[in-house]
Homo-oligomer: A and B are copies of this chain.
Amino acid sequence: MSRTSNGKSRASGRVTLAAVAAHAGVATMTASRAISQPELVSSLLRERVEKAVEELGYVPNRAARALASSKSNVIVVLVPSLSNAVFTAVLAGIQDALDPYGYQILIGNTRYSDAEEEKLLNVYMQSNPDGILLSGLSHSKGVEKTLATSRVPVVSMMDISTDPDRVSVGFSQIQAGYQMTRYLLDKGYQRIGFMGAQLDERTIKRQEGYRMAMAEAGKLDPTLEMMVPDPSTIALGAELVERMHATMPGLDAIFCCNDDLAHGAIFQCQRRGIVVPQQLAICGFNDLPASALMHPSCTTIATPRYKVGFEAATLLQTLIRGEAPEQQHIDLGFTVMARESA
């Protein structure tokens, strides 16, 4: 009806709340409430507003709402990889936990780089997020500073911290590395190698657990460790098992820091006629879907990645509401999956 259009308007052309209100014959304020807090509006006016919304095809402007309310309803999630099935499962858990609450999730892929993480965080801070989910416990000084000055609630995922100033959801990467190695030792393997790639925080901690167990058994031998900075892939696992087999005499088992490497190692052994586990035992970490089904099936550690995402997002909401969490650090544990390959 009352379409004000003087040539020099800056209006976007979209239907505004004011237009809806005019159409419904109420004040803008009433239209706003009818949409956001309908229980505060009489059913008569509420229905008129709803009808106007429908007829005009009104779409709320999120930027305007965020600016006026200084609540963005945005949650930032930073993960090291999107191609790694572990983190897509974490994301699924986050989405399922947040879905009913109308948050907009901003996903940042740090590509395992602290510098990239810092860059992404700084960009995402422009969106004034209500909360932040981070992967891992160790971050750049810049990230620590940004988080400290912004006072936005943060939950760390994948590992568990003991820091009273932090909130974390995950499991002990060191303990998991330790238990996998103990499993191999208990099975009687003598010369157990460690295959690590990417060299991110989690790889290093699993290696630390491996070393603890090996030292405890009096079998620690640094020449049995193969650590490379390349991204973890099946192809790399195939290549490294070849190198380890050739250069580490007497090697009878390999603890691969994740399942991709382990699968590649198993495939390569099949191709080369090395019988797994009789000639060489192989185990991995994460329990990806193929691990249970490949032949031989892959011994590994099952990790609660979906649950990590779900619980972390749930905990973050508690913090956003300003409530104190029941637990600041939630240990979701892990399970050794004994299968055919080791």
By a beta-carbon cutoff of 8 Å, the part of chain A in contact with chain B is 10, 12, 14, 57, 59-64, 66-67, 70, 72, 82-83, 85, 88-89, 91-92, 95, 102, 104-107, 109, 122-123, 125-128, 149, 233-235, 238, 263-264, 267-268, 270-271, 289-290, 292-295
Show 12 residue pairs from A and B whose CB-CB distance is below 8 angstroms, ordered by the A residue.
A12-B128, A59-B125, A61-B67, A63-B63, A67-B67, A82-B88, A82-B91, A83-B85, A102-B123, A234-B289, A264-B293, A267-B293
Q: A62–B123 Cα gap in the complex (Å)?
A: 9
Contact of A61 among B82, B126, B264, B292 (CB under 8 A): B126
Q: Name the residue of chain B whose CB is nearest to the CB of A105.
A: B107
**Most chain-B CB neighbours within 10 Å: which of A63, A92, A122?**
A63
Contacts of A123 in B (CB 8 A): 102, 104
Q: Is the CB of A83 within 8 A of B72?
A: no
Contacts of A127 in B (CB 8 A): 62-63, 104
In the bound complex, do residue A72 and residue B63 qualify as a contact, i.e. CB atoms below 8 Å apart? yes
The copy count of this chain in the complex is 2
Given contacts A63-B66, A88-B88, contact A57 B264 (CB under 8 A): no
| Chain B residues, Cβ within 8 Å of A89 | 83
Given contacts A267-B295, A289-B234, are A104 and B104 in contact (CB under 8 A)?
no
Shortest 3 CB-CB distances between A and B: which pairs?
A63-B66, A62-B126, A270-B295
- A271 partner, pick from B85, B289, B295, beta carbons under 8 A: B295
CB neighbours of A234 from chain B (8 A): 289-290, 293
CA–CA, A10 and B64, complex, Å? 15
A102 to B102, CA, bound (A): 25
Q: Report A252 CB to chain B, min CB distance, Å.
A: 22
Question: How far does the Cβ of A284 sit from chain B's closest Cβ, in whole Å?
Answer: 13
Closest to A260 in B: B289
Q: Which residue of B lies closest to A264 (CB)?
A: B293
A206 to B125, CA, bound (A): 43
- In the assembled complex, the Cα of A89 lies from the Cα of B109 at a distance in Å of 12
Most chain B Cβ neighbours within 10 Å, of A83, A109, A267, A290: A290
Neighbour of A107 across the interface among B61, B107, B235, CB < 8 A? B107
Contact present for B293 and A235 (CB under 8 Å): yes
Instruction: Return the contact of A92 from the options B63, B82, B88, B91 (Cβ within 8 A).
Output: B82
